[in-house]
């Protein structure tokens, strides 16, 4: 599937503008080129990020930080077979926006 089309569908599903979701396009492209298990993990993070962006939260920077942290943790797990420390997992998963890691 074409990465742009997939990202547009995900943005529509979550009610996020294409402009806002566009910054995730390189990640979607990368996911679609990877093995199935990697693809699923990365696309799950993309969906979680879009779902968080669709929420009615004031954007004081914490939403952006949580999304970036989730993406970095997911990519690190895939590239380095890395499991984050308990502190990072607690911070990423137990924030006010729900599970992101």
pLDDT, tens digit, 9 for 90 and up, residues 7-20: 999 999 999 999 88
The answer to whether position 101 is within a domain reads no
When pLDDT is cut at 50, 70 and 90, the band that residue 95 belongs to is very low
The token duo for 43 is 């696309």
**Res 56: pLDDT:** 52
Do 71 and 65 touch, CB atoms closer than 8 A?
A: no
**pLDDT given for residue 28 in this prediction:** 92
Query: Is 78:41 a contact under the CB 8 Å cutoff?
Result: yes
Q: Would you say residue 98 lies in a domain?
A: no
Residue 47 lies in a domain: yes
| Confidence at residue 93, expressed as pLDDT on a 0 to 100 scale | 44
- 82 within domain boundaries: yes
Burial of 79 (0-12, 13-18, 19+ CB in 10 A): exposed
pLDDT at 94 over 60: no
Domain count, the chain: 1
Q: Is residue 8 part of a domain?
A: yes
Task: Say yes or no to pLDDT of 99 above 60.
Answer: no
Which stretches within the chain are classed as H helix? Answer: 3-14, 18-21, 25-33, 36-54, 62-80, 86-93
pLDDT digits (tens, 9 = 90+) for 23-77: 899 889 988 988 888 888 888 888 888 888 787 555 566 667 777 777 777 777 6
Q: Is residue 99 part of a domain?
A: no
Structural domain span for residue 11: 3-93
């Amino acid at each position: 599937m074409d990465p742009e089309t997939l990202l547009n569908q995900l943005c529509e599903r979550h009610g996020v503008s294409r402009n806002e979701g566009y910054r995730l396009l390189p990640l979607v492209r990368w996911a679609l080129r990877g093995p199935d298990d990697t693809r699923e993990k990365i696309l799950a993070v993309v969906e979680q990020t879009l779902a968080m962006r669709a929420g009615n939260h004031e954007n004081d920077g914490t939403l952006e930080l949580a999304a970036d942290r989730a993406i970095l943790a997911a990519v690190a797990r895939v590239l380095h077979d890395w499991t984050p420390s308990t502190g990072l997992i607690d911070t990423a998963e137990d924030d006010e926006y729900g599970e992101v890691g």
